[in-house]
């Protein structure tokens, strides 16, 4: 017997919902410091559209001084959500970063096994180290930590409409 996922491309469009859909949302807490500013905010990501080759999201930060509201379009293969890591960490685990292995993290939805990725960048004002913790199947970011000379900021998934994340 072979896995059901092999048949997924053969199903008629609209019959099976993928890992995200129009109207889905993710909300991350954003805490830490940047320079002498304390960061205590939230970042909302709302899915505006999911098409054959792309998905579009609204980025809605509140109380996050280094982020602005935006509408972003990402390539879509029907499965991978790693490009959302570009919003919270500045990079996608599929294109950048080094995989360090598996970890377990505690989320509002219980303990989750995640893949841990890290990236170190040499910038004009010092070194920036970024860790990302993502779902092993869809690479959805559960959280990120940005550490550098000017501060330390944590992003942590705290709410979502995605039933497969809430488990």
Summarised one tens digit per residue, pLDDT across range 9-41 is 433 343 346 799 999 999 999 999 988 889 999
For the chain, give every domain's residue range: 21-162
In this structure, what DSSP letter does residue 83 have? G
Query: How is domain 21-162 classified at the architecture level of CATH?
Result: Beta Barrel (2.40)
Q: Residue 147, exposed/middle/buried by CB under 10 A (0-12, 13-18, 19+)?
A: middle
Mean pLDDT score, 104-131: 92
CB 127 within 8 A of CB 148: yes
Summarised one tens digit per residue, pLDDT across range 59-92 is 999 999 888 999 999 999 889 999 999 999 999 9
Which pair of tokens denotes residue 101?
A: 């292995």
pTM: 0.85
For the beta carbon of residue 56, count every other beta carbon within 10 angstroms: 16
Dist CA 146 CA 156 (whole Å)? 12
Residue 15 pLDDT = 36
Q: Name which of 120, 155, 153 is nearest 134 in CA terms.
A: 155
pLDDT at 126 over 90: no
Q: Quick one: how far is CA 89 from the chain centroid?
A: 8
Dist CA 132 CA 139 (whole Å)? 10
Q: Name which of 33, 45, 39, 125 is nearest 85 in CA terms.
A: 45
CB 129 within 8 A of CB 118: yes
């Amino acid at each position: 017997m072979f896995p059901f996922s092999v048949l997924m491309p053969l199903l008629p469009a609209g019959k099976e919902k993928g890992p995200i859909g129009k109207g889905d949302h993710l909300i991350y807490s954003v805490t830490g410091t940047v320079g002498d500013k304390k960061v205590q905010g939230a970042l909302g990501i709302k899915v505006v559209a999911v098409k054959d080759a792309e998905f579009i999201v609204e980025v809605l930060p509140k109380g996050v001084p280094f982020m602005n509201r935006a509408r972003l379009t990402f390539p879509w293969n029907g499965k991978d959500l790693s490009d959302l890591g570009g919003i919270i960490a500045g990079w996608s685990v599929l294109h950048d970063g080094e995989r360090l292995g598996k970890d377990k993290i505690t989320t509002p939805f219980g303990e989750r096994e995640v893949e841990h990725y890290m990236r170190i960048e040499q910038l004009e004002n010092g070194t920036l180290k970024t860790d990302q913790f993502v779902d092993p199947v869809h690479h959805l970011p559960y959280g990120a930590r940005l550490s550098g000379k000017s501060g330390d900021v944590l992003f942590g998934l705290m709410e979502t409409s995605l039933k497969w994340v809430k488990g």
